[in-house]
Amino acid sequence: MTILRSATTAPRSVTGLRSAQSKRAMITVLGWSVALVIFFPIFWMILTGFKTESAAIADPTLIFSPTLESYQAVQARSGYTRFALNSVAVAFGSTFFALLLAIPAAYSMAFLPTKRTKGTLLWMLSTKMLPPVGVLVPIYLIFRDVGLLDTRTGLIIIYTLMNLPIVVWMLYTFFKDMPKDILEAGRMDGASTFQEVFFLLLPLTLPGIASTGLLSIILSWNEAFWSLNLTSSKAAPLTAYIASFSSPEGLFWAKLSAASTMAIAPILILGWMTQKQMVRGLTFGAVK
C-alpha cells in the first residue's frame, strides 16, 4: 500500500500538488460566482413576489415581512390555469411534432449522408440567425388568412418550426455517435428501416432524445416573441400572462414578479429534476 501510494504521488512535487489544489479552488469559486450572478435576478424576482407593492419599489432589502398578497391579486385578476394549460399544450405539442419530423431527418443525415449533408445542417442552423421580427409581418398575415391567429395549433406550428433546426442538429450528433454496425446487424436480422429505428436506434439513443425533447420544451415554454404577437387571449401561454401585468395602468412589480414566478416555476422544477440529463445532452459530442 505504501509502495503504491509513493509510486503514484512521486512524480508530483508537493508544491505542484498545492498549486493544483489552489487552481481547483479558484475554478470552484469562479464557477459559483458566475452561477450566483446568473441566478440573482431569478432569486430577486421570487423575493419580490412575496413583497407588498410598496415594499417592492422601496429601497432593496432582504429583510421584509413576506406576504402572499401579490399571488392572491394575480390569481384573482386572471386565470393562471388557462395560460398554464396553453403553455403545456404548445410546449409539449411542438416538441412532439419537432421530434417526429427531426428523427427521420437526423437519421438520414447521420446514417445516409450525402455530399450536401453538412451544408444542409449549417443552412438549417443559419435560419436561427435571422431575427424573428424579420418574418413577423408575412407570418402574421398568413396566420390571419388561414385562421391560425390566437390558436394553440398556430403556436404549435410556429414553435415546431422554430425549434426544428436545433432539434435536428442535436439528434444528428446523438445518432452519429451510435455504432453503425448495430443498425447493420439489425438489417441483417431482417429489420426494415422503421423497425431499425424503433427497436434499435430509439432505445439506444433515448437519453439523447430525452434531453433534446427537454430543451425543446424549455425553449417553447420560454418563448415570448411569437406568443405575444400571434395570440391575444384564447391560446395565450404563460409568457403572455406575465406580459399582461405590465399594463397601461403602470408597472406593478410585486404582481409582475409573482406572475413570473408562477410562470417559470413548472419549467424550473422540470429543469432542476432533469439537470443531469440536460447537462449530459448539451455537452454530448463536445466532451468524450
Quick count: other Cβ atoms within 10 Å of Cβ 70? 25
Among 139, 162, 167, 200, binds another protein (CB under 8 A): 200
**Residue 202 C-beta: closest distance to another protein, Å:** 10
Residue 112 in contact with another protein, rule: CB under 8 A: no
Our finding on whether 32 is near another protein (CB under 8 A) is: no
| 248 touches another protein by CB under 8 A | no
Query: Any contact of residue 210 with another protein (CB under 8 A)?
Result: no
Smallest gap, in angstroms, from Cβ of residue 200 to another protein? 6
CB-nearer residue toward another protein: 13 or 192: 192
Query: Binding to another protein by residue 280, rule CB under 8 A?
Result: no
Out of 186, 208, 213, 237, the only residue in the binding site for another protein (CB under 8 A) is 186
3-state secondary structure the chain: CHHHHHHHHCCCCHHHHHHHHHHHHHHHHHHHHHHHHHHHHHHHHHHHHCCCHHHHHCCCCCCCCCCCHHHHHHHHHCCHHHHHHHHHHHHHHHHHHHHHHHHHHHHHHHHCCCCCHHHHHHHHHHHHHCCHHHHHHHHHHHHHHHCCCCCHHHHHHHHHHHHHHHHHHHHHHHHHCCCHHHHHHHHHCCCCHHHHHHHHHHHHCHHHHHHHHHHHHHHHHHCCHHHHHHCCCCCCCHHHHHHCCEECCEECHHHHHHHHHHHHHHHHHHHHHCHHHHHHHHCECCEC
Among 88, 105, 204, 270, binds another protein (CB under 8 A): 204
CB closer to another protein, 178 vs 270: 178
Q: Determine, following the binding rule CB under 8 A, whether residue 176 of this chain makes contact with another protein.
A: no
Number of residues that bind another protein (CB under 8 A): 16
The residue (of 203 and 248) whose beta carbon lies closer to another protein is 203
Residue 198 lies near another protein (rule: CB under 8 A): no
Nearer to another protein, 181 or 249 (CB): 181
Using the rule CB under 8 A, which residue among 27, 39, 189, 224 binds another protein?
189
Indicate which single residue of 58, 68, 185, 269 sits in contact with another protein (rule: CB under 8 A): 185
Contact residues toward another protein (CB under 8 A) are 179, 181-182, 184-191, 195, 199-200, 203-204
